[in-house]
């Protein structure tokens, strides 16, 4: 895409709300130039020739986004009440306990801002303790700690931080301080001007309050019942950033982009962050700058699951673009889990040759999210970068160029996807006996796995599988092409 744009003001924005059924049918049948459709906005003079050669990619994406929009309200409320109900059960000791508390007028009502309230992600996997045992994941480059991090299980700390980033501030702080015995720095609820809401969350912690050796920045990921998050993940819109290439527009907005038509105006080097509407990139950047002055020997780990992984991937690129060498020099690496694609090959080259950080991303089996947005040139040219650790099984990790079935809808993978969804469900029923009580799965996790029997790849996106994969890792082949 970058080769078609000669200005840092280049962009292509898809507006699914402006696309009707007739437009989508026309896209598939008539194959007109994209610039002729009202749901596409591009830089003036941008050449869209060839971008309609595979119209089904755009049509499918628009259909997914329109479907998500249509179900967004019931989806949101379903998630709201399910979280409340399951927390009600958990806080009152299950069904029988709930009945007893009702009869004895001692019912515990869940409060969403309390340290005891868990998100749906936390209900699927309530583990919060850091893993004491080492695993064969130390085989991988990022897991070889420097001397200052010799006592740190980088993988497990990254994964658990990514998982609890889904929780409310009180829950996160309690976990960091009481369970991990670490220093909680802050929880950041950040503003997205295009969604007109605080939709981007992150937290920062250190291993110690004084002379810390580890600083962790974790971004919150895609929430299961948030249709807007899922729509952002599949979106094909991009913004040209100059030397960093084309970057996913939705993820830039989540980090704090201020102008969707110009990267230079959208992400200035300096920005006055409003106290009531903090912007994610600038807010956490300033906190990190302050922390590395307080802890000059500390190393920064940036992490996130799903959408959080996308933000973790782009964040160091923005630091580099703005010459924030003090923070980059203190950065140990980036570890993401179930991360969607965030940019094109030019961004991949920039990250590899300019930023040059240790960058690892983990993909569990047929997880749907790392396979979106689609990598289907010339329509969709999003691609991954960094070292991919792929799990074909709960225990077998491989370093791969890219995970199999990269665009999810390949018919030859349909049988394996459904087969392994059944295998994961059956294993979940017995893993507590085979691997110990720390791995036992509750009924909410089992119910969630059943979703994978209908839409394979959705259940594989659960942070539980990523935690299991890291903790029970057995190395297969080092590199698989």
pLDDT > 90: percent of the chain: 73
Q: What is the pTM of this model?
A: 0.93
Confidence of residue 1 (pLDDT cuts 50, 70, 90): very low
Model pLDDT for residues 207-230, shown as the tens digit of each residue: 999 999 999 999 999 988 999 999
Distance CA 352, CA 320 (A): 12
Return the active site residues. 306, 367, 461
- For the chain, the straight-line distance linking the first and the last C-alpha, in angstroms and rounded, comes to 25
CA 31 to chain centre: 34
| Rounded CA separation 297/37 (Å) | 54
Nearest to 122 by CA among 95, 94, 87, 97: 87
Q: What is the pLDDT of residues 250-285, one digit of tens each?
A: 999 999 999 999 999 999 999 988 889 999 999 999
**Mean of all residue pLDDT scores within the chain:** 89
- What value does the mean pLDDT take over residues 158-182? 97
Tell me the sheet residues that pair with 360.
335, 387
Instruction: Give me 372's structure tokens.
Output: 């979106």
**The tokens of 39 are what?**
């749901």
């Amino acid at each position: 895409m970058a080769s078609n744009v000669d200005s840092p003001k280049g962009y292509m924005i898809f507006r699914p709300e402006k696309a009707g059924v007739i437009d989508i049918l026309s896209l598939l049948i008539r194959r007109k130039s994209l610039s002729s459709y009202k749901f596409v906005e591009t830089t003036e003079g941008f050449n869209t020739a060839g971008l309609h050669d595979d119209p089904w990619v755009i049509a499918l994406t628009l259909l997914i986004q329109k479907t998500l929009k249509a179900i967004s309200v019931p989806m949101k409320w379903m998630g709201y009440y399910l979280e409340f109900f399951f927390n009600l059960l958990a806080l009152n000791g299950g069904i029988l306990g709930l009945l007893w508390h009702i009869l004895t007028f001692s019912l515990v009502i869940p409060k969403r801002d309390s340290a005891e309230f868990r998100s749906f992600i936390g209900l699927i996997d309530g583990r919060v303790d850091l893993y004491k045992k080492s695993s064969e994941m130390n085989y991988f480059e990022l897991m070889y700690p420097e001397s200052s991090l010799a006592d740190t299980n980088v993988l497990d700390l990254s994964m658990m931080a990514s998982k609890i980033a889904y929780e409310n501030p009180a829950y996160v702080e309690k976990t960091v301080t009481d369970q991990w015995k670490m220093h909680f720095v802050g929880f950041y609820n950040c503003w997205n001007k295009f969604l007109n809401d605080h939709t981007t969350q992150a937290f920062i912690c250190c291993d110690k309050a004084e002379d810390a050796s580890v600083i962790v920045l974790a971004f919150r990921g895609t929430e299961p019942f948030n249709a807007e998050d899922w729509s952002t993940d599949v979106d094909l819109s991009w913004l040209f950033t100059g030397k960093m290439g084309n970057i996913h527009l939705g993820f830039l907005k989540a980090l704090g982009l201020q102008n969707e038509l110009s990267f230079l105006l959208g992400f200035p080097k300096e920005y006055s962050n409003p106290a009531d509407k903090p912007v994610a990139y600038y807010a956490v950047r300033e906190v990190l700058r302050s922390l590395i002055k307080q802890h000059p020997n500390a190393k920064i780990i940036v992490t996130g699951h799903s959408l959080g992984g996308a933000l973790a991937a782009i964040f160091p690129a923005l630091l580099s673009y703005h010459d924030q060498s003090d923070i980059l020099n203190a950065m140990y690496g980036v570890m993401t889990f179930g991360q969607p694609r965030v940019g094109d090959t030019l961004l991949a080259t920039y990250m590899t040759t300019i930023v040059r950080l240790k960058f690892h991303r983990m993909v569990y089996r047929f997880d749907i999210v790392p396979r979106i947005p689609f990598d289907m040139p010339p329509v969709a040219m999003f691609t991954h970068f960094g070292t991919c650790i792929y799990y074909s099984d709960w225990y077998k990790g491989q370093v791969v160029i890219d995970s199999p079935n990269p665009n999810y809808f390949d018919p030859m993978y349909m049988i394996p996807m459904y087969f392994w969804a059944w295998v994961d469900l059956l294993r979940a029923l017995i893993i507590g006996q085979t691997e110990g009580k720390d791995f036992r799965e509750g009924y909410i996790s089992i119910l969630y796995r059943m979703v994978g029997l209908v839409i394979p790849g959705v259940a594989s996106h659960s942070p539980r599988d990523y935690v299991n994969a890291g903790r029970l890792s057995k190395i297969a082949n080092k590199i698989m092409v």
